[in-house]
Structure 1
Amino acid sequence: MRQRIAVIDFETNGVTPGRDCRATEIGVAMVEDGRVVDRFQSLMNAGVWVPPMIEQLTGISNAMLRAAPPAHEVMREAARFVGDTPLAAHNASFDRKFWDHELSLLGLARRQDFACTLLLSRRLLPQAPDHKLGTLTRWAKLPDAGRAHRALADAEMAANLLLLLGDTLQRQFHLADIDHALLCKLQKVTAAKVKPYLLDLQSRQIGSIA
């Protein structure tokens, strides 16, 4: 996969963004030419409280957030880092809503789509024991990126998974190029129709070359 894609992950203090539920950390792993080429990571102080259960899960304490830079500064820097680069995340519906919410507080709006490595892995790796990020990382023997449930480690694990999914597509279906637009289309195809969809795409690509 040659295209530049920004793979993001948020740690948060809850599941639905709002006044009392905000991002507490962001990680971005930038992939290009089949590898991670750049990274961005920061804690984010949005003035919210982290419950003990989430603090235990992530290791992000309220004291750490009090010492962190303001959320609006971090998010503005993250938005500059990403720019218009296509986006991806594992379980992207979660990260997308926090990305959109944090952008909206800056008066900004997302212009690019999200590819979802969770949806894609369900379609392309049905033989996996399950499709949690940690399980897939261990099952596929992908690099250990560090502690799970920290934003940059999870973003790097999702980035490595994204590259594996691209390699799987190229190896199994011999597609000329795997790009973000194809991934976004593929994740909307039902699992039963994935193989016919890709075989048809393969035949059209061969026909265009012939």
Structure 2
Amino acid sequence: MQRKLADTLVVLDFETTGLSPEHGDRTIEIGAVLLENGTIADRFQRLMNPGFRISRFIEGYTGITNEMLKGEPRCEEVMADFSEFIAGHNIVAHNASFDRRFLDAELKRLNQAYEGECCCSLLLSRRIYQEAPNHKLQTLVSYAALPQTGRFHRAQADAEMTASLWMSMIDRIRRQYGLSTIFFDQLSELSKIDRLYAHRYLSGLAEE
């Protein structure tokens, strides 16, 4: 199987009614960008109606209101379209275990499954930006002097800022280690090793 490049993939973000799809929480917004060779080539953004009222906390946290969701399509309709958008691509998300749980749960309702690989930009940032105050998306955008493309906790803005963060980490690796070509599986592996060994791992890639 041909290895896929780290700068060609889909970066996504979900806003949801709560923390747990296992306890009935649903998605209310999806935002995603398709990166091709590090440049945004396409976007996907939709609000969706979960079929019940969302809490005041979620309204305040996301800025998405029950009124906004009233006329939007159901989750199943939006996710059917989104499954086509991500087909054939690896995916990245910030705190990816959260987004992956909701992606899998929503697709399961459609009797579908996502077959690609997933990498967490938050975990990777702990290896690349070890000196950052913390590794929340908002902190890293400021720390790395990345453009703020909209309100945090709105899916499209978060996806675009995560994409910028992802590319900033790739660029930092390229500069520091002289790697012109970086593969997705390499960054996925890096995101899982002890951060004390990140430099050794990247130095080893440079010597290959």
The TM tier, using the shorter chain, reads over 0.9
Q: CA deviation at 1:62?
A: 1.3
Superposition deviation, residue 78 in structure 1: 0.8
Q: Which residues in structure 2 correspond to 1:174-189 (within 5 Å)?
A: 174-189=178-193
| Partner Cα distance (1:65, 1:151) in 2 | 14
**In the superposition, relative to structure 1, how do residues 197 and 99 fare at CA in structure 2: closer, same or farther (>3 Å)?**
same
Whole-Å separation in 1 of the counterparts to 2:22 and 2:66: 18
CA RMSD of aligned residues (A): 1.3
TM-score where L is the length of structure 2: 0.94
Matching residue of 2:149: 145
CA distance in 1, matches of 2:177, 2:204: 10
1:40 to 38, 44, 49: 44
Separation of aligned partners in 2, 1:10 and 1:129: 25
AA matched with 1:4: T
Q: Identity over aligned residues, as a percent?
A: 43
Q: Which runs of 5+ in 1 are unaligned?
A: 205-210
Q: How does 1:105-184 map to 2 (within 5 A)?
A: 105-184=109-188
User: How far 1:158 moved relative to its partner?
Assistant: 0.4
What's the secondary structure of 2:199's corresponding residue? helix
Q: Is the 8 A contact 1:20 1:48 kept in 2?
A: no
Where does structure 1 differ by over 4 angstroms across 4 or more consecutive aligned residues? none
Please give the alpha-carbon distance, in whole angstroms, between the structure 1 residues aligned to 2:167 and 2:39: 8
Letter in 2 for 1:63: E
Q: How does 1:73-88 map to 2 (within 5 A)?
A: 73-88=77-92
TM-score when normalising by structure 1: 0.93
- Secondary structure (helix, strand or coil) at the match of 1:99 reads helix
Q: Could you tell me which amino acid in structure 1 is paired with residue 128 of structure 2?
A: L
The whole-number CA distance in structure 2 between the counterparts of 1:90 and 1:2 is 15
1:58 and 1:14 map into 2 onto residues whose CA distance is: 11
Matches of 2:135 and 2:52 in 1, distance apart?
Answer: 31
Unaligned 5+ segments in structure 2 are none
1:67 paired to 2:77: no
Deviates more, 1:171-180 or 1:112-121: 171-180
For the 8 Å contact 1:7–1:158, the answer to whether it is kept is: yes
Are residue 190 (structure 1) and residue 183 (structure 2) matched? Answer: no
Alignment correspondent of 2:11: 7
SS at match of 2:21: coil
Letter in 1 for 2:125: S
1:176-201 per-residue CA deviation (whole Å, 9 max, x = no partner) reads 31121111111111101111111112
> Is residue 203 from structure 1 mapped to residue 192 from structure 2 by the alignment?
no
CA distance in 1, matches of 2:182, 2:199: 15
Q: Deviations over 1:49-91 (max 9, x none)?
A: 2111111010111121121111111001111111111100001
Q: What is the identity, as a one-letter code, of the residue corresponding to 1:17?
A: P
1:69 is matched by which residue type in structure 2?
Answer: P
